[in-house]
Amino acid sequence: MKTIKVHKIAKWLVYHYANEPGSGYSFAIDSDGRLVLTDANRANYYKARLAAKHGDMICDGIVEVVSTVIYHVVTCPVCGRKVYLYAGFCGACECGAAYDEYGILIADKDGKIDYDESYDPADYY
Ligand SMILES: [Zn+2]
């Protein structure tokens, strides 16, 4: 199994409350530099703009956030596909094979679980 790191850069339009710098709103900017407004965030965007106009919020402009995502890369023994799994989380291949948080196959596509029979969850709680 191979582990890779992928650096992702996301851009956000950020507003914070004038009297509470760590609190406010951020709105995604897409790869073409356009603001992404949805039915869920549109009202907050206009609320933030209005608050900034009155001095209750401050617009920080567009802020870049760099994050690193670690993937376990496995070749699925069931179907042969290359599978990218978020390290630290359980995941699955398109064929249905399931993997634990370390990228270890724990069940095949039919849900047949292959685990160490000496494992008893009661030992861990
Ligand atoms: Zn598979």
Q: pLDDT digits over 10-60, tens only?
A: 999 999 999 998 899 999 999 999 999 999 999 999 999 999 999 999 999
- Asked whether the beta carbons of 96 and 109 are under 8 A apart, the reply is yes
88 CA to centre of ligand 1 in angstroms: 19
Q: Residue 41: its pLDDT value, please?
A: 96
Q: What is the pLDDT of residue 122?
A: 67
How far is it, in rounded angstroms, from Cα 76 to Cα 106? 11
Query: What mean pLDDT comes out for the span 72-89?
Result: 92
Q: How far is the CA of 50 from the centre of ligand 1 (A)?
A: 50
Ligand 1 centre and the CA of 34: distance in Å?
37
> If 0-12 CB within 10 Å is exposed, 13-18 middle and 19+ buried, where does residue 56 land?
middle
Greater pLDDT, 107 or 57 = 57
Write down the domain spans for the chain.
Answer: 7-67, 76-124
Ligand 1 center from residue 103 Cα (angstroms)? 13
> E-assigned strands of the chain?
2-17, 20-29, 57-75, 82-86, 91-92, 98-99, 105-107
